[in-house]
Structure 1
Amino acid sequence: MPSYYLAATPARFADEMVAFTLVLLVLDRTGSAALAGVTGAAYALPAVLTGPLLGAWLDRTAYRRSALALNQATLAAVMVALLFAVGHSPLWVAPTLAAVAGATLPLVSGGFTSMLPSLFTADRLARANAFESASFSAATIAGPATAATVTAVASVETAVIVIVAAACFSIVAISRLPVLPPLGAGGEAFLASVVSGLVHLARTPRLRASTVTTTLLMGFTGVLLITLPVHMRALGHPESAAGYLWTALEIGSVTTALLLGRIQPRWRPEYIVMVSIAAYGVVLGSWPLASSFVVLLALAVVAGLAEGPTLPSMFAARQQYSPAALQGRVSTTAASLRVGAAALGQAAAGLLVPIAGSRTTLLIVAAGLLLAAGLGRLSALTRKVPVHA
């Protein structure tokens, strides 16, 4: 367990820093919210296409460590290139570079997570899922906060260097992971194996409910990523202060993820996902009413407490409703949908925030989270299919 989380958490930390630092870097050098949104979207959108392909390959290869390490090496190289490109080259260069780093992005979440059933016995999976959620949350806590602090104390360029260092550390930790045998796919053609993962996600109602809800969640999270720095200006604070809101949100999230990890298996995971996201939306609806940054921080912690059970339950849904041979494809395909939705959210926010304002956009996000939970419930209302242990 320690070796796995030492490899996965720094990679996710770097990824969480990227999402926020890209926005700060583009805003700092160009002042364009639209370009910031497009660059963030370019970092995430390629994952929509690459996720299913990477998952099918992961299920049939023994070189998972090499793939994870290559992803981190690519990220480090692209971030160095962005230091020289943003603000000093044509506008299309930054989104193009971001897209190169984003092509293997599903490996950071789905690629690591798909290894859990191979690394842990069935009786330890619930606890492993709780710690996996804590890994994501720890990265989300530390990533934006580090980006905000380093940017405020030093510069956004220094924050980029921190990302490069984290990616390099992750490569070293990945080399210590065990070599795992291929999970399946046997003699199945590669493209057929890609399709089988997509079909399984689409035709398994309980898994589909969790996937629909969490994918829409990430879409509205992408909107928040652009909205919050702009909202900080409305409250009289620097844009980088938004990083502390993400930290407060994840402090609440990791708290409930760890405290409720042992009892969550008592309920069906897709139900926990939908209820948590709906509660998150209700709390987030109060954010535009906050008259000070301190109040907003407190509300962010409460929102995190409501959203906390989501990730462990999302992992549990993938594991419970998918056979072992499909774990890689299901994890990376679902991750690619989430990343793609976040990209679309960022792009939409780049256009929406200048028109509607940050307060109205926050209300739209809150309503959208309630809609996500409702659509997730509707997507489960079909015939039942066999559930895999």
Structure 2
Amino acid sequence: MRQTPPTPAGGRMSARAPRPSPEPRGSGTRRGVGGLLVDTGPLWRHQGFRRLWTGQMVAGVGSQLTVVAVGYQTYRLTGSTAMVGLVSLGQLAPLLAGSVLGGPVVDAFDRRKVMLVTQVLLAAGAAGLAVNAMLGHPLLWPMFAFTAESAAFQGVDWAARRSSLRRLVPPADLAASLSLQSAAFQATSVLGPAAAGLIIAHAGFSLVYWLNVASFGVAFITVTRLPALPPESGGQPAGLASLAGGISYLRSSRPLAGAFLIDLGAMVFGMPRALFPALALTVYHGGATTVGYLNAAPGLGALIGSLLTGHIGRVARPGRAVAVCVVGWGAAITGFGLATWLPAALALLVVAGAADVVSSVFRMVIVQQSTPDAMQGRVNSLVFAGIQGGPRLGDAESGMVAAVAGPQFAAWSGGLLSIATAVVTCWAIPQFYRYRNVASAAVSFAGAPVESADRGGRAGEAEPEPGPVS
């Protein structure tokens, strides 16, 4: 029997099973170049997902406006690049703590209500920055306080949105929906910073922050239009026991653990962004403009890659696809470390960015299929912590290696270590490498994993089939 979540108090109906896609992935109706482009079908077929995606897109643009404004305003206030870095560093601890501790909250309460609360709290942080910017002499401490407050709730909001996805689209549209979310994020990463400079130049900082407040208002309205999204079986009380259960599940699920570790290895060893300033000056004989090009190239590749994910739902072995993408990432970073011609280096970074974003969509497919609805909040919050913490550890690792052996060695050796980590992960966790896409059989429309008829394993694992974000 298919499980239907109970109607919560107040009579508002919970999210029902989405209607099956009229054309499941692999139907053969989308061919040629069109089959590579991201599939926008879920936006038209599933009203709930369309509302969730629209709110994410608008709020994402607003948040990117604020990211640029905070850095620039901090520098204008202090004239210190070190202080700009400290404001960013001050967000790390609340970001990681909020994401990890917020997971049990997402699995304890109606996820729609959790998202409503996070929109208000995120808007409050942006409003604090706006009020400070309107002062005759803006203060420095609000730059630390309000960005830290917002960071603390970003992971909660991310986990709640990811946890709701499987309740809003059928399994056949899950991969396409994840691709659309990834494409939206990459698009906001380009649109937001581009618009921020123009707005700051013509209207100042306060308008940027107020626009971010308004963007969270739009996201709030889109969330109010969603159905109730209570966790399966009513949820589990938030607390340390719930958090420990999520960590235990992440460790025990072999496909999930493999997806987490292979990405962590690629980011810790292969993330080269801390090397960009040194390489720009010593290898490419440039300056700030060259540093900007190096930072922009992976983002450009990620945007291109996210728009070319129409094939993902038709890939039967997403674990192998992740491995191929991580090896591609490592090879591109290795080539980047050896390149002495700037155009070649930029091209390799574009390839690396594309490989990374495609890998992330495949990993998210594994996370969604491998995790029961009742665990979605905790698992996604832990994945988010890894996504945020891995690159920062990578910055520290590459910086230390560069201090000893030079930036080029740090870059190409990091690429090789990324490849080695991928190989070791696939060898040590074969269930991850052999993971089979079970979109049409392993997950019910209501979000409950269904046991495989072949082996009786947990939904999502391969060999035995089928087991537990990015």
Q: What TM bracket, shorter-length normalisation?
A: 0.7 to 0.9
Contact 1:34 1:347 in 2 (8 A): no
Range that drifts further, 316-325 or 94-103: 94-103
> 1:61-210, aligned counterparts within 5 Å?
61-62=109-110, 63-77=113-127, 79-80=129-130, 95=144, 97-146=146-195, 150=198, 154=201, 162=208, 165-177=211-223, 178-184=226-232, 186=234, 188-191=236-239, 192-210=241-259
* Aligned twin of 2:307: 255
Based on CA coordinates, which of the two structures has the bigger radius of gyration? 2
Range that drifts further, 56-65 or 201-210: 56-65
Contact 1:12 1:109 in 2 (8 A): no
Letter in 2 for 1:245: A
> 1:294-305, aligned counterparts within 5 Å?
294-305=343-354
Q: How far apart are the structure 2 equivalents of 1:337 and 1:377?
A: 19
Any stretches of 5+ residues in structure 1 without a counterpart?
A: none
Give the match's secondary structure for 2:246.
Answer: helix
Q: How far apart are the structure 1 equivalents of 2:306 and 2:90?
A: 29
> 1:14-25, aligned counterparts within 5 Å?
14-16=62-64
> 1:310-329, aligned counterparts within 5 Å?
310-329=359-378
Letter in 2 for 1:176: T
Structure with higher helix content: 1
Give the match's secondary structure for 1:206.
Answer: helix
Q: How far apart are the structure 1 equivalents of 2:417 and 2:192?
A: 25
Deviation at 1:150, TM superposition (A): 4.5
* CA shift digits 1:252-283 (9 cap, x unpaired): 32133x2322323x11x333223212211211
Letter in 1 for 2:170: T
Q: How far apart are the structure 2 equivalents of 1:96 and 1:349?
A: 29
Letter in 2 for 1:387: R
Contact 2:130 2:209 in 1 (8 A): no
Q: 1:53 aligns with which of 68, 91, 101?
A: 101
* Aligned twin of 1:4: 52
TM-score normalised to structure 2 length: 0.67
Structure possessing the higher relative contact order (Cα contacts under 8 Å, 6 or more residues apart):
1
RMSD: 4.0
Judged with a 3 Å threshold, the aligned counterparts in structure 2 of structure 1 residues 304 and 223 are, in CA distance, closer, same or farther, namely closer
Q: How far apart are the structure 1 equivalents of 2:150 and 2:395?
A: 17
Deviation at 1:48, TM superposition (A): 2.4
Contact 1:185 1:193 in 2 (8 A): no
> 1:224-303, aligned counterparts within 5 Å?
224=273, 226-228=274-276, 231-232=279-280, 234-238=285-289, 240-242=292-294, 244-256=296-308, 258-264=309-315, 266-267=316-317, 269-289=318-338, 294-303=343-352
Q: How far apart are the structure 1 equivalents of 2:341 and 2:134?
A: 37
* CA shift digits 1:334-376 (9 cap, x unpaired): 1123223334445667777788765455445534533542454
* Aligned twin of 1:387: 458
* Aligned twin of 1:337: 386
Judged with a 3 Å threshold, the aligned counterparts in structure 2 of structure 1 residues 262 and 123 are, in CA distance, closer, same or farther, namely closer
Letter in 1 for 2:222: R
Letter in 1 for 2:301: L
Q: How far apart are the structure 2 equivalents of 1:67 and 1:346?
A: 33
Contact 1:16 1:144 in 2 (8 A): yes
Deviation at 1:26, TM superposition (A): 5.6
Q: How far apart are the structure 1 equivalents of 2:410 and 2:397?
A: 11
Range that drifts further, 163-172 or 105-114: 163-172
Deviation at 1:119, TM superposition (A): 0.9
Judged with a 3 Å threshold, the aligned counterparts in structure 2 of structure 1 residues 102 and 355 are, in CA distance, closer, same or farther, namely farther
Q: How far apart are the structure 2 equivalents of 1:33 and 1:102?
A: 21
Give the match's secondary structure for 1:308.
Answer: helix
Letter in 1 for 2:214: C
Q: How far apart are the structure 2 equivalents of 1:14 and 1:196?
A: 35
Q: How far apart are the structure 2 equivalents of 1:159 and 1:298?
A: 34
Give the match's secondary structure for 2:312.
Answer: coil
Q: Is the counterpart of residue 370 in structure 1 residue 419 in structure 2?
A: yes
Contact 1:78 1:100 in 2 (8 A): no
Contact 1:42 1:102 in 2 (8 A): no
Deviation at 1:15, TM superposition (A): 4.6
* CA shift digits 1:265-311 (9 cap, x unpaired): x11x3332232122112112233455565444433332233223212
Deviation at 1:250, TM superposition (A): 1.8
